[in-house]
Amino acid sequence: MTVERRFFVTTPIYYVNDLPHLGHAYTTVAADALARFMRLDGYRVKFLTGTDEHGQKVETSARAAGISPQEFADRISASFRAMAELLAISNDDFIRTTEPRHQRAVEALWKELERRGEIYLGRFSGWYSVRDEAFYGESELMDGKAPTGADVEWVEEENYFFRLSNWQDKLLAYYDANPEAIGPKSRRNEVVSFVKSGLNDLSISRTGFSWGIPVPGNPRHVMYVWLDALANYVSAIGYPDTHSPDFSTFWPADLHLVGKDILRFHAVYWPAFLMAAGLQPPRRVFAHGWWTVEGQKMSKSLGNFIPPRRLEATYGRDALRYFLLRELPFGSDGDFSHRAVVARLNGDLANDFGNLAQRALAMIHRNCSAEVPQPHGFSEEDEALLAAARGLLPALRPLMREQAFHLALETIWRVVAEANRYVDAMAPWALLQSDRKRMESVLYTLAEVIRRLAIIVQPFVPDAAGRLLDQLSVAPEARAFAALEESFLVAGTPLPKPQGVFPRFVAKKEAGTEGPC
Q: Quick one: DSSP state of residue 296?
A: B
Neighbour-count burial of 200, counting CB atoms closer than 10 A to its CB (0-12 exposed, 13-18 middle, 19+ buried): exposed
By CB under 6 A, residue 230 contacts ligand ME8: yes
Could you say which residues in the range 292-311 bind ligand ME8, by CB under 6 A?
A: 298
3-state SS assignment for residue 202:
strand
CA distances from 206 to 57, 94, 103, 171, 232 (A): 13, 27, 17, 26, 19
The answer to whether 269 contacts ligand ME8 (rule: CB under 6 A) is no
In angstroms, rounded to a whole number, what is the distance separating the alpha carbons of residues 199 and 215?
24
User: How many CB atoms neighbour CB 503 within 10 A?
Assistant: 15
User: Does 49 engage in binding with ligand ME8 (CB under 6 A)?
Assistant: no
CB of 258: closest distance to ligand ME8 in angstroms? 5
Out of 43, 94, 209, 290, point to the residue binding ligand ME8 (CB under 6 A): 290
CB 15, min distance to ligand ME8, A: 4
CA separation for the pair 3, 67 (Å, rounded): 45
Amino acid at site 454? A
Candidate ranges 225-233, 273-281, 423-431, 462-470; the one touching ligand ME8 (CB under 6 A): 225-233
Among 7, 8, 9, 13, binds ligand ME8 (CB under 6 A): 13
Closer CB to ligand ME8, 210 or 292, in the complex: 292
Contact between 14 and ligand ME8 by CB under 6 A: the answer reads yes
Residue from 24, 54, 102, 451 that binds ligand ME8 (CB under 6 A)? 24
Closer of 24 and 81 to ligand ME8 (Cβ):
24
Q: Judged by CB under 6 A, does residue 258 bind ligand ME8?
A: yes
Helix axes 405-426, 317-327, angle to 10 degrees: 110
Q: Residue 37, interface with ligand ME8 (CB under 6 A)? A: no
- Backbone φ and ψ of 414, nearest 5°: -65, -35
Nearest distance from C-beta of residue 102 to ligand ME8, angstroms: 11
User: CB of 472 within 8 A of CB of 339?
Assistant: no
Nearer to ligand ME8, 27 or 346 (CB): 27
250 touches ligand ME8 (CB under 6 A): no
Distance CA 362, CA 356 (A): 10
Residue 94 contacts ligand ME8 per CB under 6 A: no
Number of residues that bind ligand ME8 (CB under 6 A): 19
Candidates 7-15, 136-144, 347-355, 449-457; binding stretch for ligand ME8 (CB under 6 A): 7-15
- Pick between residue 24 and residue 46 the one whose CB is nearest to ligand ME8: 24
Nearest to 229 by CA among 252, 208, 207, 256: 256
Of the pair 291, 505, the CB lying nearest ligand ME8 is at 291
Q: CB–CB of 352/310 below 8 Å? A: no
Does residue number 47 form part of the binding site for ligand ME8 (CB under 6 A)?
Answer: no
Using N-to-C axis directions, what is the helix angle for 317-327 and 462-471, rounded to 10°? 120
Stretch that binds ligand ME8, among 13-21, 350-358, 406-414, 504-512 (CB under 6 A): 13-21
Pairing of strands 255-259, 6-15: parallel
Q: Select 214 or 289, whichever has its Cβ closest to ligand ME8.
A: 289
User: Exactly one of 7, 8, 9, 12 binds ligand ME8 (CB under 6 A); which one?
Assistant: 12
The residue nearest ligand ME8 at its CB is: 23
Q: Return the number of the residue (105 or 363) whose C-beta is nearest ligand ME8.
A: 105
* By the rule CB under 6 A, 273 interacts with ligand ME8: no
Q: Residues 188 to 217: which contact ligand ME8 by CB under 6 A?
A: none
Q: Is 52 in the site for ligand ME8 (CB under 6 A)?
A: yes
Q: Report H helices in 87-179.
A: 100-115, 168-177
DSSP code string of 321-381: HHHHHHHS-BTB-EEE-HHHHHHHIIIIIIIIIIHHHHHHHHHHHHHTTTBPPPP----HH
Binding positions for ligand ME8, 469-488, rule CB under 6 A:
none
Is residue 291 close enough to count as binding ligand ME8 by CB under 6 A?
yes
The stretch near ligand ME8 (CB under 6 A) out of 21-29, 310-318, 342-350, 447-455 is: 21-29
Work out the burial of residue 250: count CB atoms within 10 Å of its CB; fewer than 13 is exposed, 13-18 middle, 19 or more buried: buried
- Dihedral in degrees, nearest 10, Cα atoms 365, 369, 372, 378: -100
Nearest CB to ligand ME8, comparing residues 216 and 259: 259
| 198 three-class SS | coil
Under the criterion CB under 6 A, does residue 262 sit at the interface with ligand ME8?
yes
Centroid of chain to Cα 415: 25
Beta carbon nearer to ligand ME8, 104 or 365: 104
Whichever of 134 and 276 has its CB closer to ligand ME8, that residue is 134
Give the interface with ligand ME8 as residue ranges (CB under 6 A).
12-15, 23-24, 26-27, 52, 229-230, 232, 258-259, 261-262, 290-291, 298
